[in-house]
Amino acid sequence: MRNRYLPVVLALAFPATGMAEAPESLHGYAVSDPFRHLETDEGAAQWIDRQEAQTSAYFDGLGGDAAAMAKRLDELSRIGGVSGLKIRKARTFYVKRTGDQEQGVLYLRDGSKERKLVDPAALDASGKVALDWYYPSPSGKLVAYGLSRDGSEESVLHLLKVDDGKALADEIPNTRHSSIAWLPDESGFYYTRYPEGDRYNRRAFFHRIGDEPSKDAYVFGKELGKTDWTSLDITDDGATVFLSVSKGWSVSELWTMDRASGKLTKVLGAELGALFGSPKQIDGRIVLLTNHEAPRFKLVSVDPASSAPASWKTIVPEGDWPLDQMKYVAGKLAMVRLVKAVAHLELYEKDGKKLQDVALPDIGSIGSFEGEANGDRLAFTYASFVRPATAFEMKLSNKKVVELASVVAPKIDGVVVEQVEYPSYDGTRVPMFVVHRKDVKLDGSNPTLLTGYGGFNVSYEPGFSPSALYWVERGASSRSPTSAAARSSASRGTTRAGWRTSTRSSATSSTRCGTSSASATPAPRASRSRAARTAACSWAR
């Protein structure tokens, strides 16, 4: 009974999607984009209207069964998650959305107790105020956070005293997606903001608590292009500010500012044609991730006074699978590596000697990844196909992974997650996740949702999807080719980088998977095309 409507849905005569050839040459390959007309506002609106009319007619004919479907979908869709995890000494901060909450709430966990710090619903019951970002101070006694209205993401920076929950008078507008680096003494912070009314030309400033924001000192940004994106960090002693600049999707720069003199130095420039991320000062050198002559990333140590690549020291060399994130905790290096798009946690000595792999709960992905050089805790959020994003921590003294914070979720039983491989058009072995009910036989008779992404070297990683889970619960299967690509913290927030896998390879491989798999044969019902060359189709047999 659970899947009796799926064959009916897949047999529907869906409205035709017009095709108009728009061939072009990309990286030496002839690429056709017959659905480019759907990228126009008018074309997309007409297509959506036809699809919605067909869908509404179908559900109107189901009567009470439609209500049951809606109830389960609503139940699954209300499952929230934990995100934005940060640790400051013994304090843990995170954003959690549960149940009927329209917006995520900022929480503090101090020991075993959890309490709300910023609840957008308490500020506006309509749900139109959102918490965009936040940065706790080094001691965790202050929090800078951004609020915006109506989905604008045009944040206004606010300051909160954590112990008593009182807001400070400081408010700074135009801080969309702001990056913040606190001084160790918490008297002020460096931050990014935009000129009034401008969505470009991101600049860095310094704000001392209590000062008038309009008088904040300019620090950095006029040297850059209008679309360049600056992120900030600061050394533990507060002597040096790191300014990481993303220039497009595949190149970044690293600048430093000496706080005593205000001198700016470009340590690693765009002329290297590489990405640099997770900068950390260790023993007077800058340790960071880069894909310079290492497309799957390596961890290197750079002398800030002599930063030519020939002088770099490799700490963790490029491996068979991409390095994703790095934290320096209690004198150790904690690294996330993506093996076939699945997160693996590894520990190293600071000289690069590998210590161990850390067991994780299941086939999943790590989002937030936090640790402090003078602490003992490593904390991260973890999600899988059957697990909403959950916060965990591990003390390096005992290497035990324990749950910190989670959301209440309905019971999810009998779902199997597998990872298989299939050949791409050029013979490359492409990993793919297959999710299905335990009692479903993969014999070619199952409705299957095949989803792939081919833009910006992005790969699908395991994640919790209520709609895909509902599909699986009803006897179908869900498949996500990973295209062997991977993000890296060197490009986090701007791109995902890793294996050199072209858009054509991703899209063509997905089609090959559908045609060669024994459990699903393609019968495309509809597709959508966007500037990022997303390929997402429903397939059935």
Q: Hey, what are 527's tokens?
A: 């597709």
Whether 248 is in a domain gets the answer: no
Which string of DSSP letters, residue by residue, matches 143-186?
A: EEEEEEETT----EEEEEETTT-PEEEEEE---TT--EEE-TTS
The span from the CA of 238 to the CA of 504, in Å, is: 46
Q: Hey, what are 394's tokens?
A: 């591990």
Whether 374 is in a domain gets the answer: no
**Do the bridges between strand 477-481 and strand 448-453 make them parallel or antiparallel, or are there none, so unpaired?**
parallel
- Structural domain count of the chain: 1
Q: Please give the distance of CA 294 from its chain centroid, rounded to a whole number.
A: 22
Whether 198 is in a domain gets the answer: no
Give the pLDDT confidence of 79-115 residue by residue, as tens digits. Answer: 999 999 999 999 999 999 987 898 999 999 998 889 9
Pair 230, 192: CB distance under 8 Å: yes
The span from the CA of 344 to the CA of 357, in Å, is: 7
Residue from 133, 114, 131, 136 nearest 405 by CA: 114
Whether 157 is in a domain gets the answer: no
Query: Token pair 């479907």 is at which residue?
Result: 69
Query: How high is the pLDDT of residue 9?
Result: 55
Where does residue 156 fall: left (phi above 0), alpha (psi -120 to 50 degrees), or beta otherwise?
A: beta
Residue-number span of the structural domain to which 445 is assigned? 6-62+411-539
Give whole-number Cα distances, 329 to 236, 297, 370, in Å. 12, 20, 9
Phi, psi torsion values for 77, nearest 5 degrees: -70, -20
Query: How high is the pLDDT of residue 324?
Result: 96
> Which residues lie below 8 Å from residue 190, measured CB to CB, with a gap of 6+?
180, 181, 204, 205, 206, 207, 219, 232, 234, 241
Query: How high is the pLDDT of residue 491?
Result: 52
Cα pseudo-dihedral 464, 466, 469, 475, rounded to 10: -170
How many CB atoms sit inside 10 A of residue 111's CB? 8
- Report the interhelical angle of 466-473 vs 64-77 (nearest 10°): 130
Q: Which residue blocks in 207-274 are alpha helix, DSSP H?
A: none
The span from the CA of 405 to the CA of 119, in Å, is: 17
Whether 428 is in a domain gets the answer: yes
Whether 317 is in a domain gets the answer: no
**Do the bridges between strand 81-88 and strand 91-97 make them parallel or antiparallel, or are there none, so unpaired?**
antiparallel
Number of helices (H) and strands (E) in the chain: give both, helices first: 6, 35
Give the pLDDT confidence of 487-502 residue by residue, as tens digits. Answer: 565 654 333 222 222 2
Tens-binned pLDDT, residue by residue, of the chain (541 aa): 345 555 555 556 788 888 888 788 999 998 988 988 888 878 889 899 999 999 899 888 888 888 999 999 998 999 999 999 999 999 999 999 987 898 999 999 998 889 999 999 999 989 899 999 999 999 999 999 999 999 999 999 999 999 999 999 999 999 999 999 999 999 999 999 999 999 999 999 999 999 999 999 999 999 999 999 999 999 999 999 999 999 998 999 999 999 999 999 999 999 999 999 999 999 999 999 999 999 999 999 999 999 999 999 999 999 999 999 999 999 999 999 999 999 999 999 999 999 999 999 999 999 999 999 999 999 999 999 999 999 999 999 999 999 999 998 887 889 999 999 999 888 988 899 999 999 999 998 888 989 887 777 677 899 999 999 999 999 998 888 886 544 565 654 333 222 222 233 333 344 334 433 334 433 322 222 222 222 222 222 2
Q: Hey, what are 378's tokens?
A: 């490593």
pTM of the complete model: 0.84
The span from the CA of 338 to the CA of 461, in Å, is: 9
Whether 300 is in a domain gets the answer: no
Q: How many residues are recorded in the chain?
A: 541
Whether 220 is in a domain gets the answer: no
Query: How high is the pLDDT of residue 168?
Result: 98
Pair 202, 182: CB distance under 8 Å: no
Question: What residue type is assigned to position 190 of the chain?
Answer: Y
Which string of DSSP letters, residue by residue, matches 256-306?
A: EEETTT--EEEEE-GGG---EEEEEEETTEEEEEE-TT-TT-EEEEEBTTB
